[in-house]
A and B are shown apart, each in its own frame.
Chain A
Amino acid sequence: MEAISFLLLLFVAVPLKYLAHEPLAVRVIGPLHGLAFVAYIWLVIESAAAGAWRRPEALRLFVGTLLPFGTIFNEKLIRERLPES
């Protein structure tokens, strides 16, 4: 959800606001992405503090949220670890 909301914000809502002068999409998707971002980062920090991730892995998961498609790139790592955590 974090990845999808980021892509929608970046490639749909922001162009709509600045090219078509339609700010509604940013007002709707912006807070939704903010919420998904906070939830994702919180889960990474919580599970890293619980010992589920090593520091480089947690860093990789964090950096992934800052880049478009980054979270999708990290999905395999998360899925591999899901049964353990």
Chain B
Amino acid sequence: MSAYLSLKTLHVVVVLVWVASLAANVWLMLLFRPEAVPRSASSQTVLQSWKKLDRRVGSPAMMLVWIVGLWMVSQAGWLAFGWMRIKLALVFLLSALHGVTAGQARRMASDATYTPGPALGWVTGCGFAAVVGIVAMVVAKPLFAV
């Protein structure tokens, strides 16, 4: 397997880990949001464990996605293509949404009385739309974005 294909494999693996971690962030907040505040000690333990897991797995996976992705873009000259620019913008949006959910989860883990606002549904919708857009750009490489 060539070096480029090895990097591509690594990129896809870390993307899967990152998106799963982002989805779990949102799911955890949706799960605990309806709970009356202050939350129980057991709920706080779950949130604190998740916060550690996101810091050790989810966030490093995101950075690895960027490191490997930018390396591939730079080596193959993908930046000349419109679909890649759109994809980069969508990955940037997804990274921002991950930052929002990671920060909110950290706040919930450290403050048993804090509950995320109604914007969480909006974050979930945007994240899903960004993932669909990224996959569409990579797979279809639409003509309008060549």
Residues 75-98 of chain B, each 1 if its beta carbon lies under 8 Å from chain A, else 0:
000000000000000001001101
For the A-B complex, the count of residue pairs with Cβ-Cβ distances under 8 Å equals 55
State the majority secondary structure of interface residues on B.
helix
Residues 30-67 of chain A, each 1 if its beta carbon lies under 8 Å from chain B, else 0:
11001100110111111111110000000000000000
Q: Which residues of B contact A17 (CB under 8 A)?
A: none
CB within 8 Å of A: which B89-146 residues: 92, 95-96, 98-104, 106-107, 110, 114
Nearest A residue (CB) for B73 = A31
Known A45-B100, A46-B99: A35·B106 in contact at CB below 8 Å: no
State the majority secondary structure of interface residues on A.
helix
* B96 near A34: Cβ-Cβ < 8 Å: no
* A49 near B99: Cβ-Cβ < 8 Å: yes
* A42 near B95: Cβ-Cβ < 8 Å: yes
Nearest first, the 8 A-B pairs at minimum CB distance are A49-B103, A45-B99, A50-B103, A31-B70, A46-B99, A46-B103, A50-B106, A49-B100
Q: Which residues of A contact B (CB under 8 A)?
A: 27, 30-31, 34-35, 38-39, 41-51
Q: Which residues of B contact A (CB under 8 A)?
A: 59, 62-63, 66-67, 70-71, 73-74, 92, 95-96, 98-104, 106-107, 110, 114
